[in-house]
Amino acid sequence: MAFTIKVNGNTHSVDVDGDTPLLWVLRDVLGMTGTKFGCGMALCGACTVHLDGSPVRSCITTIDSVGDSVVTTIEAIGATAAGAKIQKAWLDREVPQCGYCQSGQIMSASALLASNPHPTDADIDDAMSGNICRCGTYVRIREAIKQAASGQRG
In the complex, the residues that contact ligand FES under the rule CB under 6 A are 37-40, 42-47, 57, 59, 96-102, 133-135, 137
Nearer CB in complex with ligand FES: 8/48: 48
Residue 66 Cβ vs ligand FES, minimum distance, rounded to whole Å: 15
Nearer CB in complex with ligand FES: 4/129: 129
DSSP string, the chain: -EEEEEETTEEEEEE--TT-BHHHIIIIIS--TTSPPS-SSSSS-TTEEEETTEEEETTS-BGGGTTTPEEE-TTTGGGSHHHHHHHHHHHHTT--SS-TTHHHHHHHHHHHHHH-SS--HHHHHHHHTT---TT--HHHHHHHHHHHHHT---
Residue 16 Cβ vs ligand FES, minimum distance, rounded to whole Å: 18
Nearer CB in complex with ligand FES: 137/147: 137
Residue 117 Cβ vs ligand FES, minimum distance, rounded to whole Å: 25
Residue 23 Cβ vs ligand FES, minimum distance, rounded to whole Å: 7
